[in-house]
Structure 1
Amino acid sequence: MAGRCAERDAVCEARLLSERVQKELRGQRLHTQFGLNPWRRVHVITKKPMSWHDHIEEPADATFLNIIHHAALEPTKKYPEPQTESQEIGWNTTPLIQVDRTDRRLHFPRRKTENTN
């Protein structure tokens, strides 16, 4: 292999290099706009107590705060209906009938007897 590299001339090396650069540039994209994923939780990192730039008061962006608060909500408050099959289990949490503690048919409290303490 070392012998083959030594036999190549400068024109062949330049052509191979330019072809490689073109292939690499074809797969790259330039991103100029960046944003925060509102569906991913944000981990808060503690600040340094003596840094001057952490104590500067900045106005809060209302739309950004709304996106963050909306992302932190549970699915029943975010969506009107379940989005997946697993969300269907437990989606409706309201009881079908009112709980009546005086009704002996539906309420079985624990009782202390001489056998159970």
Structure 2
Amino acid sequence: MGDQAKDKPDENAVHKNAILVESIKKEMAVYKPYETFAINPYNKLHVLAGKPNSKYDQLDPSAANFDFFDQIKRANQEPNKKYDEAQTVNQEYGWINKPLVELEKEDKRLYFGRANSEITKYMEVYFLQKEQETMHDKN
């Protein structure tokens, strides 16, 4: 094992550079640069504001790409506004979020408003007095 290491000649800077050039040529043969970039409309974006007085952050309104803004709006919508159907099983639970029957306060069958009786009024006064006593005892 030690003999193999001794038989191997030392690499010098010329050999290392030749290996580097060869590996770069191989990489560049399969390298395809992207020239157009697009936003993924299915991921949420966290856009950071630029510096307020920077001349480089000023946008020209005539050069605005409104398709890009539409994609950002779509990415920030709720799933039931983005898609026609639920995409996962868990989305099915809350997909239809409109009530089956509209709530009418005059209909006593479905609306149970807050009702006060003698005992609830008594207990409300009792608890208010108890709170005042505890506040008085702390001071």
1:71 to 70, 75, 98: 75
User: Corresponding residue for 2:23?
Assistant: 21
Q: Is the partner of 1:4 in helix, strand or coil?
A: helix
Paired amino acid for 1:7: K
Q: Of the candidates 54, 58, 68, which is equivalent to residue 55 of structure 1?
A: 58
TM-score if structure 2 supplies the norm length? 0.61
* Whole-angstrom CA distance in 2 between matches of 1:36 and 1:52: 25
> Which stretches of structure 1, 4 residues or more, deviate above 3 A after TM superposition?
none
Q: Which residue of the partner structure matches residue 84 of structure 1?
A: 88
* CA deviation string 1:53-99 (max 9, x = no partner): 12352421121112111111111111111111001011112222232
1:45 aligned to 41, 48, 64, which one?
48
Supply the distance in 2 between the matched residues of 1:37 and 1:49 (Cα, whole angstroms).
27
Q: How much does 1:5 deviate?
A: 6.2
User: Which has more radius of gyration?
Assistant: 2
Over aligned residues, Cα RMSD in angstroms? 3.2
Between structures 1 and 2, the one with greater helix share: 2
SS at match of 2:118: coil
AA at the equivalent of 2:70? N
Task: Find the aligned partners of 1:114 and 1:82 in 2 and give their Cα distance.
Answer: 49
Partner of 2:32: 30
C-alpha displacement of 1:108: 0.9
In the alignment of these two chains, the number of paired residues is 110
Normalising by structure 1, report the TM-score: 0.71
- The match for 2:115 among 69, 87, 111 is 111
The gaps in structure 2 that reach 5 residues or longer are 125-139
Which letter maps to 1:57? D
Q: Give 1:109 shift.
A: 0.9
**How many angstroms does 1:31 deviate by?**
2.7
